[in-house]
Structure 1
Amino acid sequence: MLAVTYSIIRNKLKDYCNQATDNHETVIVTRKGEKNVVIMSLEKYNQLEKAARNAEYLAMIDRGITQLLAGKGQEHELIEADE
């Protein structure tokens, strides 16, 4: 992980973009008096998004299991497909 100032990134944006994409580096851009930002490859961003969606899905399953164990489930007949 690299941390650079806004002034430096402005002058060498292409180099840091290449660091992010070619070397899978995360670049933190520090900005005086402002919130910092992160530059990363689209590939790495997509991986993070997928992991977040998976975590949300697993949490939903865990909530469902907890509800079932607490007796809050409903039983339904299975629908058989016509053969």
Structure 2
Amino acid sequence: MKVVKSSVLRKNLKDYLNQVSESEGIILIPRSGIDSDDKSVIMVSLKEYNSLKNFKERYQSSLLKSVN
């Protein structure tokens, strides 16, 4: 995971978008201020997002089956 400040991201947005979409990497964009960890943002490709979402749904489904 790469950490990139928002000011740097703005200056090189196209390059970072290409990096994320081509390598399926993840970029963390920290936000300053109080509770900054809660306000940080993650940039992922749509393919990676769908994969994570699918995994979460399957995991929750298997948990529900094991409870019943």
Q: In structure 2, how many angstroms separate the alpha carbons of the residues matched to 1:17 and 1:31?
A: 19
RMSD: 0.8
Query: Distance between the aligned counterparts of 2:41 and 2:58, measured in 1?
Result: 24
Q: TM-score, normalised by structure 1?
A: 0.74
User: Under a length normalisation based on structure 2, what TM-score does the superposition of the two structures give?
Assistant: 0.89
- Where in structure 1 are there 5+ consecutive unaligned residues? 65-83
Note the 1:53-72 alignment, pairs <5 A: 53-64=57-68
- 1:14-65 CA distances to partner (integer Å, 9 max, x unpaired)? 111111100111000112114110100000000000000000100010011x
Q: Which has the bigger relative contact order, CA under 8 A and spacing at least 6?
A: 2
Number of residue equivalences: 64
Q: Please state how far the C-alpha of 1:4 moved relative to its aligned partner.
A: 0.6
Identical pairs, percent: 30
Which consecutive aligned stretches of 4+ in structure 1 deviate over 3 angstroms post-superposition?
A: none
Q: Which amino acid aligns with 2:45?
A: S
The aligned counterpart of 1:17 is: 17
Take 1:17 and 1:56, find their aligned partners in 2: how far apart are those partners?
A: 31
Could you say which structure has the larger radius of gyration? 1
Match of 2:47 among 21, 43, 46: 43
Could you tell me which residue of structure 2 aligns to residue 4 of structure 1?
A: 4
